[in-house]
Structures are given as C-alpha cells and as structure tokens.
Structure 1
Amino acid sequence: MKILIIDDDLELCELLKKSIESIGFFAEYELNGKNGIAKLQNDDDFHLVILDVMMPKIGGFTILKELRKLSNVPVMMLTAKNDSLSKVNGLEIGADDYMTKPFEMSEFLARVGSLIRRYTDLNEQKSSSIAKFSFGDLSIDMQSREVEISNKLIELTVKEFDILALLIKNKGTILTKQQIYENVWQDVYAYDDDNIMSVFSRLRKKIEENPRNPKYIQTVRGIGYRFIANRNR
C-alpha cells in the first residue's frame, strides 16, 4: 500500500515515513501544497493521504477540496488546532479522520491501518466484477485465465497465473514470500524459497521483455515482490 504525506515539517515527514514503512507500507512525502496537488494529479495509486491543515500558501483544506475532485482516497488530517470547528470543517469537505498534534505514534499507525483496510475492502467490492486488466503490453483476463503480451497469448502454468493474479490484485503492495505461498499454494509456509523463486523466474521469462530488468514484477530485497506497472486508461 502506498501513502502520501503532505506536511511542511520535514522532521515530522521523515518520522511518519519511517514509522509507516515499519508496518509494511510504502510512504513518500511532499513539503508544500503545490507539489502535493501535482503528485496526486499525476499518480492515482495512493491508498491514503496524510494531510497537514496549517501550511503556507496552500493550506490543507484547499488541497483536500482539490483532491476530492480527483479521488475518493481516504484522507487523514493533521493539525495543531484542537478546536471542533476545524475538525467539522475538514470532515464536511471530505476528510475521513482527524488527529491533533502531538499524537501517539501507536494510535496514528492503528488509524492508518484502519483507513487503508476500509478503503481496500470498499474498492475490492467495487472491482469484484472487473475481470480484465491491462498494463502496457500485458493483458490478463481473470475469468478465462488468459494472459497476452502485445496481443499474443502466453501459456502460463496454474501457479504462474495465480501468482501473477495475486500480485495484480495487490498492485503496488509488497507481498512477502509467506503471503504469496500461503495464498497460492494454500499451505503453511515452510521457507520453500526455491519453489517460489523458480516460479517467479519462469513467470518473468514469459512476461518480461528483459527478465533481468523487469518492468512488471519487482523484487524487494529481503521482503518479497510487488507488481509495479500502471494500468492502461
């Protein structure tokens, strides 16, 4: 899952980024409203936005209004104000949660996880009827279990297809080897790295133009794998 932090406090941004990534999510930040809006306009893969209310030039409420024209991604507002009027204003504009600085990191991370789970569950329900996906020259039909590269049918084994489908359904999220094994093999993970790695090797040879420099399936050293391509529009 990918999270965007928009706050003019560099020290806080780095702390939040480090804390978020400690629980398995990916985070990046922008230090002003203008760059934050540009990031959101150019990248629709964020699962959560953490947004400071009080920033120079372009404040958090203005950013939130612009964001709601683009996306329904959940937004957590951060503010040093502890007044109900600011909170009501943010919630009415479209914020999903509100935290007042300073806050306990454990509570912050719990709320981050809760917002992402709700958003993910909602979008899974909305996309449950979507069976076809297209990324660059790669197309996959979940119902027929057919995969094409540049309109040419690619033969995948059951495990190869299941791994590819799992990664696509969790696009942008790092999946550990244990998560992949237990979802695809439907068995308790017993550190069977060779089995997983051999399937990934075969899969990359079939769908990647250059398996040594993959553009679809990224290895995150020491953690696992993730699907990184943007979907065709």
Structure 2
Amino acid sequence: MNKVLIIDDDKELCALMKKCIEHEGMIALLANGGIEGLQLVDRNKEKLTLVILDVMMPDLSGFHVLKKIREGSNIPVLMLTAKSDEEDKVSGLQLGADDYLTKPFSINELMARVNSLIRRYTTLNPMAETDNESVVLQDMLIDKANRTVTVHDRLIELTGKEFDLLLFLARNKGRVYTKKQIYTQVWDDEYAFDDSNIMSFISKLRKKIEPDPEHPVYIQTVRGVGYRFNKEV
C-alpha cells in the first residue's frame, strides 16, 4: 500500500490532504514541521512512496528538509509554496524536487499530481521496487547478480565503483542528481566528498560505455545541477 508523508505547519490543510489521500486507499502520515518530518522520513525511509513538503515552515524551511532527504533517499517529493516566485521553484527543482504546486490549489489538482508522481515512481520505474533484477535498456544490459555490463552485445569491463555508479543512475533514469547526492548514494559515505572525484568517475565511465564520450547518450550532464541517465534509452 502506498504511504505518503505530508510535512506542513498548516494543520487544517494537513488534515484535509490526509483525508483525501486516505480516500484514495493510501496511508497518510503527518508532520507539522521540518524537524518532525525528517524524523518520520528516517523512520519510514524504505516504506514511503511520496513526500508532500511545504516550503515555508517556522522551524526548518522546506528547502533544508528537501536537501536532507536527498542526501539519503530518492523518494519523489512534491513541494507546496504560497509563493509564485519562479526563483523558489527553480531552487526546489535544483535541490531535487520532482514537482511544484502553488497555494492555493484545488484538491483535484493535488491528487492528480500525487497520483502522477506515484505512478511514475512505482510503475514507470519498476527498479525502484526491486533490488535484484537486471536493468534492460535498448542497447545495454546491466546484470546486477553477476555485476556485468554489455553494450551492443559487447562485454564492458568496469571497476566495482564504476559498476555501482552506472547501476545507480540507470535504476533511476530520468532523475537528476547532484554530485554530492551521487557520492552519498554510491559511496555510502557523506564525508570526504570530492566534487572532482565524481567528475573523474563519470568521465572514465563514459569512455567505456558511450559510443562517443564527447556527446554522451547514456549519462547526461545537467548544467549547473549534476547528472542523469537518459530516460529515452
């Protein structure tokens, strides 16, 4: 069953969103502040399907909460804001938000966004729910069990971390990650982060898997943000 975490200091709005989400047959958890929200994320990290996150909260801003979530989780995040400022939306999206909704909004629009994000995460990205299957792409096969990669039926020799990096990006194709997010997920370590180290690994990996490393097909650079695996392959 899908489980949605709502983080918003507006208790009346939280109660309304909770009622609508539960009406759709989902479980809704409530947090009336950023600190409480992060605690619930930590306790339910493997069970959450979506986070609805308000930007303006008195204890921690939604941007701070989102940044902390993205350091250890790829769960979809729908951000809510009372502002229509484009700069706020850009900031949220660059930090890893998946969608944005400006207050006031209709419940119908909210639920449409919620259902769309959940469908994309659980149906169109089935690797988010299973940890053992191979990743099958148009011209690439990533065999997780045997830790092998073939491109155009050619076996590619990768180091252990190169394989982990490729698998992580491919399992979450279409999603944009900062260098620090990649480091935290692949190296499982939030310390000793080195921006140039990630760039070096990406460069080496591209030379091995890309037909033309100067014009990559698989691993794309999102200027000013980070990297993503091409969702079209």
TM-score by length of 1: 0.54
User: Take 2:21 and 2:129, find their aligned partners in 1: how far apart are those partners?
Assistant: 26
- The CA deviation at 1:124 is 1.8
* Structure ID, larger Rg: 1
| Structure 1: gaps spanning 5 or more residues | 132-233
Q: Is the 8 A contact 1:41 1:70 kept in 2?
A: no
Amino acid at match of 2:108: S
Q: Is the 8 A contact 1:20 1:27 kept in 2?
A: yes
Residue 54 of structure 1 aligns to a residue in which SS? coil
- The CA deviation at 1:23 is 1.3
Q: Is the 8 A contact 1:4 1:46 kept in 2?
A: yes
37 and 106 in structure 1: CA distance in 2 versus 1, 3 angstrom threshold: same
Partner of 2:70 in structure 1?
Answer: 68
Partner of 1:112 in structure 2?
Answer: 114
| Residue correspondence of structure 1 range 82-101 to structure 2 within 5 A | 82-101=84-103
Residue 84 of structure 2 aligns to a residue in which SS? coil
Q: Choose which of 119, 124, 127 in structure 1 pairs with 2:126.
A: 124
51 and 125 in structure 1: CA distance in 2 versus 1, 3 angstrom threshold: same
Partner of 2:17 in structure 1?
Answer: 16
User: Take 1:47 and 1:36, find their aligned partners in 2: how far apart are those partners?
Assistant: 14
| Residue correspondence of structure 1 range 50-199 to structure 2 within 5 A | 50-125=52-127, 130=132
User: Take 1:50 and 1:96, find their aligned partners in 2: how far apart are those partners?
Assistant: 10
RMSD across aligned C-alpha pairs, in angstroms?
Answer: 1.5
124 and 61 in structure 1: CA distance in 2 versus 1, 3 angstrom threshold: same
- After the TM superposition, list the runs of 4 or more consecutive aligned residues in structure 1 that deviate by more than 2 angstroms: 125-131
Percent same amino acid at aligned positions?
A: 53
Aligned residues: 131
Q: Is the 8 A contact 2:5 2:50 kept in 1?
A: yes
User: Take 1:8 and 1:127, find their aligned partners in 2: how far apart are those partners?
Assistant: 31
80 and 127 in structure 1: CA distance in 2 versus 1, 3 angstrom threshold: closer
Q: Is the 8 A contact 2:10 2:32 kept in 1?
A: yes
Residue 95 of structure 1 aligns to a residue in which SS? coil
Amino acid at match of 1:48: L
TM-score by length of 2: 0.54
Residue 123 of structure 2 aligns to a residue in which SS? helix
Residue 58 of structure 1 aligns to a residue in which SS? coil
- The CA deviation at 1:57 is 2.0
